[in-house]
A and B are shown apart, each in its own frame.
Chain A
Amino acid sequence: DGGITQSPKYLFRKEGQNVTLSCEQNLNHDAMYWYRQDPGQGLRLIYYSQIVNDFQKGDIAEGYSVSREKKESFPLTVTSAQKNPTAFYLCASTTLGETEQYFGPGTRLTVT
């Protein structure tokens, strides 16, 4: 089955620790995206990548980092510099020129 997988589904961390969220796709999509969703708010773009070894900041990149070493993988690291990291994180992908985005199931991160 083709699709996007995110792991883990739930993640708990202590304040001050870095944590990495996984996103893998087997759709052969070129572009991948990370969004954050908070209650009562729309999705906000954190980072995106159009091709391997290249990525751009979105609207709320502070306190986050990414890498794109392989076409199918786009991990997101939430660093201790992120002031309010507790949220639902969604990964998406699309082919270049085909603008329909496909989403993974999400990871709910709780930092205490």
Chain B
Amino acid sequence: KQEVTQIPAALSVPEGENLVLNCSFTDSAIYNLQWFRQDPGKGLTSLLLIQSSQREQTSGRLNASLDKSSGRSTLYIAASQPGDSATYLCAVGVPHSGTYKYIFGTGTRLKVLA
């Protein structure tokens, strides 16, 4: 059974720091991996999608990597800002009943201090 873990559960950093969020999964048979941002009481905003054949994706100050063989993905945030404060969730797309579904981690709650 696929399980997704995110460590740490919470992180507090001063503004300007580069930081790395971790996501690990137990079964390497995934279609893709997606990183989301969630602000308190809000829906999820997609940040980056990495297909299973890809190693990384970049968008602005964000870079996500994927290592299927080791069951790991990292989200790198450069030059963090207070506006980056949110919960970051990763999800893996896995086969299910002839199609696919997403399995989510419990998230990393990030606070960037001004």
**Chain A interface (Cβ < 8 Å from any Cβ of B):** 4, 6, 31, 33, 35, 40-45, 48, 50, 56, 58, 88, 90, 92, 99-106, 108
CB-CB nearest 9 A-B residue pairs? A42-B104, A103-B44, A103-B43, A43-B104, A105-B43, A100-B49, A42-B106, A106-B43, A99-B32
CB neighbours of A40 from chain B (8 A) = 106
B12 located at the interface, meaning its Cβ lies under 8 Å from any Cβ of chain A in the complex: no
* B 49-86 binary contact with A (CB < 8 Å = 1; else 0): 10100000000000000000000000000000000000
Write out the residue numbers on chain B whose beta carbons fall within 8 Å of the beta carbon of A58: 101
Contact, CB under 8 Å: B43 / A90: yes
Which one of A4, A56, A101, A108 contacts B102 once the chains associate, using CB atoms below 8 Å?
A: A101
CB distance from B78 to the nearest CB of A (A): 23
Q: Verify B46–A56 contact, CB threshold 8 A.
A: no
Tell me the bound Cα distance from A109 to B52 in angstroms.
35
Residues of A within 8 Å of B4, CB to CB, are: 42
Q: How many residues on chain B are close to A (CB under 8 Å)?
A: 26
B42, A100: Cβ atoms closer than 8 Å: no
User: When the two chains form the complex, which single residue of A50, A90, A100, A104 contacts B46, counting CB atoms closer than 8 Å?
Assistant: A100
Find chain B residues with CB under 8 A from A6 CB: 43
Q: Is the CB of B34 within 8 A of A100?
A: yes
Q: Is A99 within 8 A of B106, CB to CB?
A: no
Instruction: Identify which of B31, B43, B97 contacts A99 (C-beta below 8 A).
Output: B31
Contact indicator A99/B44 (Cβ below 8 Å)? no
